[in-house]
Amino acid sequence: MRLRDIPIERGTLRASFHRCAACSSPFEFDYPAPLVQLAARRTACFNARRLRDHRRVRCAWFPTKSLRYTSSATSVGANDPFLIETLCDVVGLYLSSPDNAFTICIHEKSQCEALERTQPMLLMGLSYVEGIAHDYKRHGTTTLFAALNVIDGTMLAWCKPRHWHQEFVSFLREIDKAVPGKLDIHCIIDNYATHNYPKIKAWLAIRPRWHMHFIPTYSAWLNQVERFLALITDKAIRRGSFSKVKQLVREIDHFVSAYNTTRQPFRWTATADAILEKLHRLCSRITGTGP
């Protein structure tokens, strides 16, 4: 049986392409099984990556008017009751940092895996893309503590085997030693449980120059250090092959040292009013999100 031998009535075929993390397959069909099998042979080149990159899909084996394409994505809105207050507070630090103060962004990247690829990486060439072996050996993990100086873009990174409050308070002590005593420290951080541990609060209570600014829930994009973590993940951690955790830690330290030599601060241009206006437009178009 060939595809053109199957009778097709206009308006009877329906296809929905769903793009979400929970789907086991990027395609869901609701037409007869023989047609699905033939279509699958014709569409072997359409994978999740191509579907993610191209918002419009043109299918040659179906009439254009008989195919309906939809895309969906998962999203979580911030449920912080003090969303507006915390948003204005953090954005105000980015746009106008206080004088005689040190503004930093802190975040942790846990479970940095030391993966040893079974084959060396294939470098990008004229007719092929960069290739990395899909199978690997896992030799352990480490946690990367990172602090970004908002003013000049300097990075302070520290790798520890665990992500407990003991390691976090040790990282805060290192920052406290590096910052001159006459400057206040404004720290932008998320609401992770370790950051609100009683011993952390007690340590901050006896150091009045520390001012903690917590970002709203589900708003990691407000933390500028996330941009650096994305860079080091893409250029150092994900593309490397490490036979042990110490080798991964050395690669992270080398990347941070090279980054600080040519550092440039991230420029924040969006005001709090502009962000809230976009949020209002989004909520007005989504059902069930109004006040």
**What would the mean pLDDT of 109-118 be, rounded to a whole number?**
89
User: How far apart, in whole angstroms, are the C-alpha atoms of residue 286 and residue 173?
Assistant: 45
The pLDDT of residue 1 is 52
Residue type at 190?
D
**What would the mean pLDDT of 89-111 be, rounded to a whole number?**
91
What share of the chain has pLDDT > 90, as a percent?
Answer: 37
User: How far apart, in whole angstroms, are the C-alpha atoms of residue 196 and residue 181?
Assistant: 24
The pLDDT of residue 69 is 43
Q: How is the beta sheet containing 210-214 ordered, strand by strand?
A: 155-160, 136-149, 101-117, 184-189, 210-214
Quick: pLDDT tens for 18-57.
Answer: 333 333 344 343 444 444 444 444 444 444 444 444 433 3
Q: Give residues with Cβ within 8 angstroms of 289, minimum separation 6.
A: 77, 282, 283
Per-domain residue ranges of the chain: 3-66, 83-280
Quick: pLDDT tens for 265-282.
Answer: 898 999 999 998 988 888
User: How far apart, in whole angstroms, are the C-alpha atoms of residue 275 and residue 199?
Assistant: 35
pTM for the model stands at 0.68
Buried b (16+ CB within 10 A) or exposed e, 177-192: eebeeeeebbbbbbee
**Does residue 244 have a pLDDT over 80?**
yes
Quick: pLDDT tens for 213-235.
Answer: 999 888 888 999 999 999 999 88
Q: What CATH class has 83-280? A: alpha beta
Of 233, 236, 239, the closest CA to residue 121 belongs to: 239
